């Protein structure tokens, strides 16, 4: 009996997931920021671990779970990718970017890889192969999201992608 009720819940959950996809509504998820106080490294992961985890150096890492709208993060990352591709396709990206990015093509490729990786993680968080982005007219501002625009090259960074908002600042008093 408990088996069949579990099955019903799973089916309902799956249907709800399909409907969320179709309806273009937020897809709730979590991004986890990890900070090793010993190595002073900061990285994000999609893997939630309630019992805590050690860094490779053996130190217990500080973790902060950040609630996100996966669709919004994905949509913004796609737009970043478009910005980067436009720059890469232009004949003179280094002139466009001026002195800010020394080896601009390499830098753009690196930024591009970071966006693709972020999108890959978003799919994992959403538990799906595909996330439909918000429509063209959707903007982070109208969705009430704070986004920092990095100029150049004009990339949008959501709060979720800025660890300084989530991790405690380095201890100054110690």
- What is the contact surface with Zn ion in residues (CB under 5 A)? 36, 38-39, 55, 57, 59
Nearest residue (CB) to Zn ion, 41 versus 86? 41
Instruction: Of 172, 173, 160, 169, give the one whose Cα is nearest residue 32.
Output: 160
Rounded distance between C-alpha atoms, residue 153 and residue 141, angstroms = 19
Rounded distance between C-alpha atoms, residue 47 and residue 119, angstroms = 15
Nearest residue (CB) to Zn ion, 36 versus 125? 36
Nearest residue (CB) to Zn ion, 56 versus 95? 56
Kindly state the smallest distance separating residue 169's Cβ from Zn ion, in Å.
18
Kindly state the smallest distance separating residue 58's Cβ from Zn ion, in Å.
7
Rounded distance between C-alpha atoms, residue 147 and residue 154, angstroms = 11
Nearest residue (CB) to Zn ion, 24 versus 42? 42
16 is written with which tokens? Answer: 């709800």
Nearest residue (CB) to Zn ion, 52 versus 98? 52
Helix then strand then coil, in percent of the chain rounded to 5, is 45, 20, 40
Instruction: Of 107, 106, 131, 136, give the one whose Cα is nearest residue 118.
Output: 131
Kindly state the smallest distance separating residue 57's Cβ from Zn ion, in Å.
3
Kindly state the smallest distance separating residue 27's Cβ from Zn ion, in Å.
32
Kindly state the smallest distance separating residue 64's Cβ from Zn ion, in Å.
16
């Amino acid at each position: 009996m408990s088996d069949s009720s579990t099955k019903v819940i799973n089916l309902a959950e799956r249907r709800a997931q399909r409907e969320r996809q179709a309806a273009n509504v937020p897809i709730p998820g979590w991004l986890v920021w990890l900070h090793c106080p010993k190595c002073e490294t900061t990285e994000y992961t999609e893997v939630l671990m309630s019992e805590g985890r050690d860094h490779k150096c053996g130190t217990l890492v500080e973790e902060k779970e950040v609630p996100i709208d996966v669709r919004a993060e994905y949509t913004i990352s796609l737009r970043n990718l478009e910005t980067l591709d436009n720059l890469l396709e232009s004949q003179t990206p280094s002139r466009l970017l001026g002195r800010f990015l020394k080896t601009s093509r390499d830098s753009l490729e690196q930024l591009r890889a970071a966006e693709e990786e972020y999108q890959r993680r978003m799919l994992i968080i959403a538990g799906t192969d595909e996330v439909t982005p918000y429509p063209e007219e959707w903007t982070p501002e109208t969705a009430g999201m704070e986004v920092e625009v990095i100029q150049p090259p004009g990339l949008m960074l959501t709060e979720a992608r800025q660890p300084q908002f989530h991790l405690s600042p380095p201890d100054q008093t110690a």
